[in-house]
Amino acid sequence: MGLFKGNEVEKIDSGRFEEEILCSTTTVIDFYTGWCAPCKKLTPILEDAVSNYDVRAFKLDAEENQDLCLKYNVMSVPTLLFFRSGKEVDRMNGLVSLKDILEIV
C-alpha cells in the first residue's frame, strides 16, 4: 500500500487526496500542522495503527491544503477524517487514542 515509510505515516497533498480516499477499505486522513503539539502526539498513535493493525492512514498538512480544509469543514487540528469509497463516514477532532481509531476502522 505504500502507507508506512520506515517510522512515518506517508504524507499526501491535495494532488493525491481524491485518489487515496476512493479505496473500499476505510482510509484515515490526519489533517495536521507542523507546529501543533497534539498533532505531534497523534503521529505515533497513527504509526502504531498502520504498522500493527493494518490501518490505512495518511497525513495531510492543513496549512498547505486549505482548499481541502474548506471543502471538508476542518476547523481545527488534529482532525481525523475517515473515508470509505470516497465518502466521509466519520471524523474525530483533537488527540484521540488508538482504541478510538480502531473502533471506527
39 is catalytic: yes
Which residue among 36, 95, 98, 104 is the active-site one? 36
Do 42 and 32 meet the contact criterion of CB atoms below 8 Å apart? Answer: yes
Which residue among 21, 28, 39, 46 is the active-site one? 39
Q: CA 58 to CA 21: how far, in whole Å?
A: 10
DSSP 12-49: E-HHHHHHHHT-SS-EEEEEE-TT-HHHHHHHHHHHHH
Q: CA 20 to CA 36: how far, in whole Å?
A: 24
- The upper half-sphere exposure of residue 38, i.e. CA atoms within 13 Å in the direction of its Cβ, equals 14
As annotated, the active-site residues are 36, 39
